[in-house]
Amino acid sequence: MAPRPVPPARAAGATALAALLLTAGTACGSGSDKAPNAEVAQQSAARDRIGTLSVHSAQGPRSCTASVVRSPARNLLVTAAHCVQNQRVGLLDGLVFTPGYRNGYSPYGSWQVQSITVDPRWASDDDPDYDVAFVTVRPADGREVEDAVGGNPLGTGRGVGLAVSVTGYPNESDEPITCAVRTSSQSATQERFDCGGYTDGTSGSPWVTGDGAVVGVIGGLEEGGDTPGTSYSVAFDQRVADLYRRATT
């Protein structure tokens, strides 16, 4: 599917949109008592590629988490599809991305969402096996987002059992959380990890390997999960590689 432009934010109905967005960021299912708990993520250059998706401004109501991935145009994010489009609301407009956001401070500024690319099977019926999206953002102060904070390579076809760190922004916190975990298989098309603390707002959080590749994002089954202990992702296989190509051509 070709990228779909996001219309400019409308002043009318912004409150209703914000309320709907706050219901869109669910992430995680039930975990075991032995699962670790996420901790506050310390600031680093690599983590500054991860940020919030919020309405109109960095201080606006938050939807989800997103991160910068490398692309030829240097303007691409990856997140969960349900963070930017779903059958309940349609295409969510007025979103901005704020990388490295922490305690009310936006060290790099914010980038306005310009277009999204989702699989037709997500667009038609919210198929959880296609709950991933690539999002372009407009330049801010003459800079593309990747020029400001760098970007992670996309990693597809790597299988499961990978050691990853997962960093995201719970809606109730002004600081990101992170957890070092190992991925496992949930099904042929879904993966999971177990770690507590991934509540509303952490959908879209990237699963980053030791070499910096994004191999998943919180989403997929149950829009990421039902409770904070276990999180899901669409398997980053050929489907995601194909979607990335559509977003960058």
Model confidence at 29, pLDDT cuts 50, 70, 90, reads very low
The identity of residue 68, as a single letter, is V
The most distant pair of C-alpha atoms in the chain lies apart, rounded to whole Å, by 48
Query: Average of pLDDT values for 91-96?
Result: 91
Residues 6+ apart with CB under 8 A from 5: 114, 115
pLDDT (0 to 100) of residue 89:
82
Residue with tokens 């779909």: 4
Interval 200-213 mean pLDDT: 97
- Label residue 34 by pLDDT band (50, 70, 90): low
Residue-range definition of the domain harbouring residue 221? 4-248
- Say what the pLDDT of residue 245 is: 98
Helix H or strand E segment including 242? helix 238-248
DSSP state of 76: E
Per-residue pLDDT tens over the stretch 130-175: 999 999 999 999 999 999 999 999 999 999 999 999 999 999 999 9
Cβ-in-10-Å burial (0-12, 13-18, 19+) of 73 comes to exposed
pLDDT in tens, 66-85: 999 999 999 999 999 999 99
Residue 2 has pLDDT above 90, yes or no: no
- Alpha-carbon gap, residue 120 to 124, rounded angstroms: 6
Q: How far apart are CA 91 and CA 8, in angstroms?
A: 12
d(CA 96, CA 199): 20
- Number of domains composing the chain: 1
CATH number at residue 189: 2.40.10.10
Read off the pTM. Answer: 0.88
Q: Are 192 and 233 in contact (CB under 8 A)?
A: yes
pLDDT at 88: 83
| 220: pLDDT strictly greater than 60 | yes
pLDDT band at 45 (very low <50, low <70, confident <90, very high): very high
What tokens were used for 237? 């296989």
Bridge-partner residues for 165, per DSSP? 180, 208
